[in-house]
């Protein structure tokens, strides 16, 4: 039996290098391929825990609008109903997504492979950042209720939490959406809860070394603040040319709800900084003025900033303390 040959060129497939026309033809065939034969890989990055933007490529290939809710089916036959909302021209997984993240302990760098099964249902396979499949999504738990019961409960939960309310309390209209979802309670991760016991809070993706935690705790204890102190480790997005700083959603919801600007104090000097609001993620960010603070104080990647909200000020003011990267190593 002879070697397989390329149907376009007639050459041995091992000798045939795809040309641009061949690639375009393949892309054309793929675009018109049955949706149920397509796979999509999505990398968990950014602030994915509370809501995930559906990649445009996935939306485009599915040829049509995604409905108000979809069903994700894992390899261990668990079904999860997730609400979908349109926000700033993007489709976002909302109600039910954070529970999905918690159920499978999704972390930064994890990946999910989506396969469309039709009828707004996707099969998903979840991998950790090393490329190993997560056992939580593959192994059947004998103590869980039958599949049909879990599906019914999940559907009822989304309907109750995202599409109906007698009095409208706790509901939020999503921009560009024709329906309303209930505002989610800001959940703290287990690490954030541990940090709160020591008097401070970080973002979900902040990871402190043991040395850094010890330095932070010592500094916190010397400050004696009644309000939890926000601790941030400076990364590239915090110090580059278009830098900003994001507050944890739980902290912002409680202490910065109505603020549009605040004042940072350090060593007797003061900087006015604007506070921008991302209502879809319940976030507050420091924008205009933050870059000047970074430059004036020569902040570097790895530096740790502690923000103490001063309760005795008539305007929103924070005292800032810096632990330099060389000091915390």
| pLDDT for the residue numbered 237 | 85
Q: Would you state the pLDDT for residue 101?
A: 87
Q: What is the C-alpha to C-alpha distance for residues 304 and 293, in angstroms, rounded to an integer?
A: 14
146 pLDDT band (50/70/90 cuts)?
very low
Residue 35 scores a pLDDT above 80: no
CA torsion angle 36 41 46 50 (round to 10): 40
Q: Is the pLDDT of residue 171 over 50?
A: no
- C-alpha pair distances (Å), 223 with each of 109, 199, 250, 298: 35, 10, 22, 23
- Give the per-residue pLDDT at 65: 61
Does residue 162 have a pLDDT over 50? no
The average confidence (pLDDT) of the chain is 75
Please choose, from the candidates 288, 292, 300, 293, the residue with its C-alpha nearest in 3D space to the C-alpha of residue 236: 300
Q: Which residue has the higher pLDDT, 147 or 99?
A: 99
What digits encode the pLDDT tens for the residues 253-305? 888 878 888 999 999 999 999 988 765 556 788 988 999 999 999 999 999 99
Tell which wins on pLDDT, 30 or 151: 30
pLDDT at 266: 94
Instruction: Give SS3 for 73.
Output: strand
More confident residue, 176 or 1: 1
pLDDT, average across residues 149-172: 36
pLDDT (0 to 100) of residue 329: 55
216 — pLDDT class (breaks 50, 70, 90): very high
Using a pLDDT cut of 90, give the percent of the chain over it. Answer: 21
Q: Is the pLDDT of residue 34 over 80?
A: no
Tens of pLDDT along 2-28? 555 555 555 555 555 556 666 666 665
- Per-residue confidence (pLDDT) for residue 293, from 0 to 100: 95
Instruction: Among 19-23, 149-153, 206-210, 291-295, name the most confident range.
Output: 291-295
3-state helix, strand, coil in the chain (%, to 5): 25, 30, 45
Identify which of 35, 116, 114, 124 has the alpha carbon closest to the alpha carbon of residue 79: 124
pTM over 0.75? The answer is: no
> How far is residue 81 from each of residues 37, 110, 127, measured CA to CA in Å?
22, 21, 20
Looking at 156-165, 191-200, 216-225, which range is the least confident one?
156-165
Ranges 54-58, 73-77, 160-164, 301-305: which has the least confidence:
160-164
Q: What is the pLDDT of residue 112?
A: 92
- Assess contact for 137 and 76: CB atoms under 8 A: yes
Of 62-76, 99-113, 156-170, 276-290, the range with the highest mean pLDDT is 99-113
């Amino acid at each position: 039996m002879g070697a397989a040959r390329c149907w376009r060129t007639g050459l041995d497939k091992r000798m045939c290098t795809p040309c641009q026309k061949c690639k375009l033809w393949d892309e054309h065939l793929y675009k018109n391929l049955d949706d149920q034969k397509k796979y999509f890989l999505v990398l968990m990055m950014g602030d994915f825990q509370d809501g995930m933007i559906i990649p445009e490529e996935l939306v485009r290939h599915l040829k049509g609008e995604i409905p108000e809710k979809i069903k994700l089916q894992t390899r261990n036959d668990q079904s999860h109903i997730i609400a979908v909302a349109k926000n700033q021209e993007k489709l976002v997984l909302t109600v039910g997504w954070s529970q999905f993240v918690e159920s499978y302990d999704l972390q930064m760098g994890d990946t999910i492979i989506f396969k469309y099964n039709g009828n707004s249902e996707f099969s998903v396979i979840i991998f950790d950042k090393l490329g190993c499949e997560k056992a939580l999504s593959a192994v059947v738990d004998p103590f869980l209720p039958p599949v049909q019961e879990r599906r019914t409960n999940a559907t009822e939960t989304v309907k109750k939490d995202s599409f109906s309310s007698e009095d409208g309390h706790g509901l939020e209209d999503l921009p560009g959406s024709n329906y309303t979802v209930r505002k989610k309670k800001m959940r703290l991760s287990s690490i954030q809860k541990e940090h709160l016991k020591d008097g401070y809070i970080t973002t979900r993706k902040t990871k402190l070394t043991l040395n850094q935690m010890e330095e932070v705790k010592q500094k916190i204890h010397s400050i004696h603040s009644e309000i939890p102190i926000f601790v941030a480790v400076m990364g590239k997005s915090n110090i580059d040319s278009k830098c900003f700083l994001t507050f944890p959603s739980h902290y912002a919801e409680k202490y910065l709800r109505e603020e549009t600007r605040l004042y940072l104090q350090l060593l007797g000097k003061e900087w006015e900084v604007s506070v921008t609001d991302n209502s879809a993620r319940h976030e507050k960010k420091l924008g205009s003025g933050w870059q000047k603070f970074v430059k004036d104080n020569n902040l570097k990647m790895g530096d740790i900033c502690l923000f103490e909200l001063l309760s005795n000020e008539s305007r929103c003011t924070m005292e800032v303390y810096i632990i330099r990267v060389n000091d915390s190593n």
